[in-house]
Structure 1
């Protein structure tokens, strides 16, 4: 059905192209080549339409018009991109074309690289942040490891900040929205002297909880035998983010630019805003978990045996369940109510802080440009959630992380006749400490099981990973004929890792914090490993430009992501064999071709791409029971994408985009003796998006009105790579809109915004805890959200 919708949308847009080309009656708004963005995807300035890569780019103005205020929201308007969510949706990572990673450990990097201001963000939890004072965002699809230095197997998302300039300028926006949202952002910059410029930017965004905690709620006896946790039970879903950035730019000559930057941010959030849904495990003849379903309102089986009857052989499972409830009799409220019941919920329990300092140097060598980027980052995170998402005092989860990295890149880009080239060296050192534990408060069922009923206990791991990486890279583009260009590139990487993990049982000093300084006993054996590996990426591509408005390309691109380590939590599962604690690097060979075509007379543009991915040692993270581990498996993916835009009349702009992808991870071990071909997580097979923007010619009280409506559809997707029915979330359609008035002369603007205008309840992530509580934690996207923004630009 949705394939036909996508084809119909493309057909309609093609008809619009034809009609507009035939009409060509009136000049169109927006200036020459409206919608064209200059990007640096190939380490030099080019029009997005001239880059032989599947790339989606947005200017800062476009992001504001579409009400994209969070980094990962960029995925919702990018064909082929999606969000791999964790932490109740509070922390998310990018997924591109089925290349994803949803390991819950903070020391594991993702396969989609995120850069901010040309510097790499190594922490997966650092990929979620508020957007402010940006020049543009570039989303590059497919391996990008040749020109970008780290784990860009699936692609790259680059956030480019607005930089200092020689003229005084700035802006200020104030927004008030639903749930008492108060947001203030602004920037000011300009010259300090003839050679020194500055820019200062500030961002503050806070709102009240949007999920109501009805604890104890409809417990159906689920609290029996337990006592509530002190200092609970707040509502959830609130946020309070404060961030700032300062830049100083020194230009002692026309050839030399030195820019120093410093930024900091802090987030204060509630514990993860999860709801719960009852699920039923499916058990094989040998007792392995081979499936799962959502419990119907009349379901009474604890688990489903191979004969379809009630199975009670899973440890901790009851003889039967209350119809439709979890194993402990809890019936969660409907998602429609925006309510949940939890004994472990604090409004301001979680905190994330980040710091960033960088020095950018650009020097014109005459025919080439030397660039040096030195960067230091630090991110700390404190995160907690109710392990069973119910009023029962059973078990909770807490995570602390401290990630610090330093990097140095030196590269030279030049042009010599038909040859354009880039070469350089890159160094990165990442040190991460990640503490992850089950919190079993006093009087909880889990504390009683492990023998500490009155004092409580924390059971978890302390992980240390130091990753040191150095690489040499180069890429050359040679125009060997008037219309033909050959591109060849490679990167050689030397990777050294030192990992150690210790497991411990820690006394509880605070239910909403983790203290690992003293361990009472060791639940699991420790592990330490050092290894050094040599990795490489490569690229060969042919480009054909028959005229100035058409680009065709075809190529082969090899990407690589470094290996890492499993850190199994003490959840009662058998210990992992030592041989599978470390896992290997993954290698992706991508075969891709594309077409980009501009229609200047009608302000039209279309980009098409098709690809086939051959994956070796795909890093497949499987979450089971209450922990998880990564397996190396082979995989393949093929798909296609389209982006198109047109201005068929003055002030009217139409866009449509879509993607179709068919991914498959081969021979994943579901349980002992059971291998299956499965879909990767967070990968909808179909996506469709579109936007209509209209600015009437007529003057409206000394300014212009702009109407914008955009929408996107994602098909269903899995949140666990085992692909059980209980791990599949349904697809959804969301629509957003805005009306903006902007003065012609004063720089003042006023906007009315409405996100999720039809108040859709849609699930964004889940954790399968079927064998722990007969349930899954499930998190939903934000409800309908309105806002009013007043702005001033100078």
Structure 2
């Protein structure tokens, strides 16, 4: 029989007030742990946001922690799903890619551009992950995820104007043998086996091995329609498609095939020293990410005028209207799917003394990406079987990143302690994109030596960058309850960019050479073909800081106020070489004009002011945290897709500008309540309101850009979550359900008309699970349901100036079953 606590009524009322104090249009999920102590109270949450262990409830910054128990209950597909447990943290995908688009408090990244590092940093065991392509991490081996909201200008200072996602994986354990495994099967042919084992080696060594595989058929169908095609060009090639119409064959698209593994070796010869060596392995052979054609029925879009835009589709369900050309040739390899290889080696060492701990974090990561795609979401086929690649592209990059961080965290007996250290990161990236622009064969005819549909147009560049920083943060206790923290970081960023204007493969030597034969896009890299290559340098020197005042008002109430500054380094306009010839009057190249156009943006800065209160009431059965914030952004780096006409042909180019000043203000509430033994209620609310103070670009616009909302800034997010655990003899039955809401938010802004802006629609998702497990958690069986209302919602969308619009959608309703075990001594 359940024991009812005397405070249940008042505590429930407090939680209910928190959850109902927002409109019905809001949603997100709680960021607290679900684990309880032996007395049924909430357990202490230990975080490392200050580079030392501290209690979440007495840490003077806005931070949310999702621990292993909550991860198990939520059954996330990847770390992006955990955004539902953090207020004002939005996770989407970059259109056409399995890449992360994270946003916190109004700043995020919507582009796959490889040289623009996101303003929300992702760290795995203190190594900064530079590529959004691999930030949607699997959570099987994760012990805790900490999300630091707002600029982190001192201890996590690399490009964090939005915040930081700090992922901690499980460490090997000495003198413990453990084997853990689970298998999930579900809709869309989903099969996910995962396993881990911990093995001690003598008294001072331990090894942990982790491996997993994700496979599915995909939830899209190849059903995108087109036509009747109305070419403008009077050519034999265009005539093949005149009047053609049709839809795809209905086969499944977007399947996954991902292997990931980690091997970890821990050496602890004494209580004073530990060294953890890790090897990371990732092999992604998933299908290309399909997209859905969303081009409005408007003559303002070229693709609609050609009969390739929004046409009557076979199905009203957008998931059945995706399309891929399956082009395999002319440097495009869609039938091979995407290829992402990651190999990483990392070494974390700690040495403890009587007066503090020395820490070293070393790492090297090699990532190779081969990403083909059909960007239009439409795949016309002529009567003779010729496939029209309206805008197919193969994006290839090689990226090598080295990082070293050294720091010291004091442990003095007196009122003052500090953390100080230095950070170094070196990154080398080579990039090429091969494009087949078949739509130009319909609009204006071929380039003069064949068809656009058969001749890859190549844009290649490379970057060499170094980031160095030194930092210190000190804490002084004026009294046992009043603490002042101040920190400072100074960062040096140096970058060199190498690029050339876009050329056909036959023009790589500076003239027309039909003997040039390439097998891969990166074969055309700027170091092997140097004709027309320029070098542009950029550097930045930035001070950032943080000041916090914390007050333990009572043993259960902690209040704080924080001011911090963060910055994000500038990035090169690496797409400027596409369709944008910089030539002299005589037609020769103008490298000076090209270099000026490609030059980097200035750093982006954020000044954040926040105050909050963290409470644990009713003998630690209610946790209630509230934060208010105001962020002032200057020199915001904004992405705009700019339409242009070159030689009478319509193109587009992605440009970056320091175009904007903006402010964002809001509140964040997180609460967890245990009203009766076995029942845990969680709720969170995020509200944010942002506006531009100014938004001016050097390119003439058709309207006032500052009138648009900030992109990736949903006004409301909220989550309500409940877990009930019922003992049944030697077993227990666990029920979990949650509702998560995210409001409508801008994803891509058009420079020509607000009617062309693309948005992620508001969505409410219902998820649930039922788990039967042994009382000691050795075995379990779980039934999983996600998106139970079968909501259709966009996770990425884009407008390509004057040409087309497309997007990708989140998964529909999913049912799965999971079995798992954990055995050991």
| TM-score class normalised by the smaller sequence | 0.7 to 0.9
The equivalent of 2:664 in structure 1 is 637
**What is the CA distance between 1:131 and its match in structure 2?**
2.0
Residue equivalent to 2:717: 687
* Cα distance change, pair 177–621 in 1 and its aligned pair in 2 (3 A): same
Give CA deviations for 1:591-628 in whole Å, capped at 9, x if unaligned. Answer: 11111001152511011111111111111111234431
Cα distance change of structure 1 residues 635 and 14 upon mapping to structure 2, 3 Å threshold: closer
Alpha-carbon distance in structure 2 between the residues aligned to 1:443 and 1:530: 34
Match of 1:99 in 2: 107
| Superposition deviation, residue 640 in structure 1 | 0.9
- Cα distance, 1:721 vs structure 2: 3.4
Aligned equivalent of 1:238:
255
Query: Cα–Cα, structure 1 residues 270 and 337, in superposed 2: closer, same or farther, change >3 Å?
Result: closer
The answer for the alignment partner of 1:185 in structure 2 is 194
User: Are the structure 2 counterparts of residues 218 and 577 from structure 1 closer, same or farther at C-alpha, using a change threshold of 3 Å?
Assistant: closer
Change (3 A) 1:748 1:553: same
In structure 1, the residue matched to 2:423 is 426
Q: How many positions carry a matched residue from both structures?
A: 732
Match of 2:376 in 1: 388
CA contact (8 A) 1:506 1:515 kept: no
**Residue of 690, 708, 728 corresponding to 1:699:** 728
Match of 1:412 in 2: 408
Q: How does 1:487-526 map to 2 (within 5 A)?
A: 487-507=485-505, 514=521, 516-517=523-524
Alpha-carbon distance between aligned partners in 2 of 1:703 and 1:409, rounded to the nearest angstrom: 46
Which residue of 32, 50, 60 corresponds with 2:58? Answer: 50
TM-score calculated relative to the size of structure 1: 0.86
> Please, which runs of 5 or more residues in structure 2 have no aligned partner?
1-12, 22-34, 232-237, 328-333, 381-387, 507-515, 583-592, 644-651
2:593 aligned with 1:565: no
Partner of 1:551: 558
Aligned to 1:172: 181
Cα deviation for residue 220 of structure 1 reads 3.3
| Residue in structure 2 matched with residue 260 of structure 1 by the alignment | 277
Distance 2:409 2:269 in 1: 21
Change (3 A) 1:664 1:570: same
Matched, 1:649 2:676: yes
- Write the distance in 1 (CA, Å) between the matches of 2:19 and 2:221: 43
Which residue of the partner structure matches residue 604 of structure 2? 586
Residue of structure 2 in register with 1:718 after alignment: 746
- Aligned counterparts of 1:622 and 1:762: Cα–Cα separation in 2: 24
Call closer, same or farther: CA 1:32–1:744 in 2, change over 3 Å.
Answer: closer
Shift of 1:88: 2.9
| Ranges in structure 1 where 5+ consecutive residues have no aligned partner | 1-6, 16-26, 280-294, 296-300, 304-313
Corresponding residue for residue 17 of structure 2 = 11
Contact 1:117 1:158 in 2 (8 A): yes
Deviates more, 1:261-270 or 1:744-753: 744-753
Q: CA deviation at 1:348?
A: 4.1
Deviation, 1:344, is: 4.1
In the TM superposition, what is the alpha-carbon distance from 1:776 to its structure 2 partner? 0.9
Q: CA deviation at 1:222?
A: 6.7
| Helix, strand or coil at the partner of 2:145 | strand
Determine the C-alpha separation between the residues in 2 that align with 1:242 and 1:531.
Answer: 38
Counterpart for residue 664 of structure 1: 691
- What residue number does 2:27 align with? none
Q: What CA distance in whole angstroms lies between the structure 1 residues aligned with 2:377 and 2:472?
A: 50
Cα deviation, residue 523, structure 1: 15
Tell me, in whole angstroms, the C-alpha distance in 1 between the residues paired with 2:178 and 2:358.
Answer: 29
How far did residue 719 of structure 1 move?
1.1
Residue of structure 1 equivalent to 2:585? none
What SS does the corresponding residue of 2:83 show, helix, strand or coil?
helix
Q: Distance in 1 between matches of 2:755 and 2:719?
A: 26
Cα distance, 1:711 vs structure 2: 1.4
- Matched with 2:623 is 605
Q: TM-score, normalised by structure 2?
A: 0.83
- Residues 347 and 489 of structure 1, relative CA distance in 2, 3 Å threshold: same
Residue 340 (structure 2) aligned to one of 343, 352, 361: 352
1:9 is displaced (CA, Å) by 7.1
- Post-superposition shift, 1:338? 2.7
CA–CA distance in structure 2, aligned partners of residues 278 and 469 of structure 1: 41
For residues 394-420 of structure 1, the C-alpha deviation after alignment (integer angstroms, 9 at most, x for no partner) is 221221111111111110001221112
Indicate conservation of the 8 Å contact 2:737/2:769, yes or no: yes
Tell me the SS of whatever aligns to 1:469.
strand
**1:124 pairs with 2:155:** no
1:754 and 1:586 map into 2 onto residues whose CA distance is 41
Pairwise CA distance, 1:751: 0.1
**Per-residue CA shift, 1:181-216, capped at 9, x if unaligned?**
11111211131111111111111111112211136x
2:779 maps to 1:740: no
Correspondence for 2:636: 618
Give the root-mean-square deviation of aligned CA atoms. 3.0
Q: Mean alpha-carbon deviation: is it higher for 610-619 or for 526-535?
A: 526-535
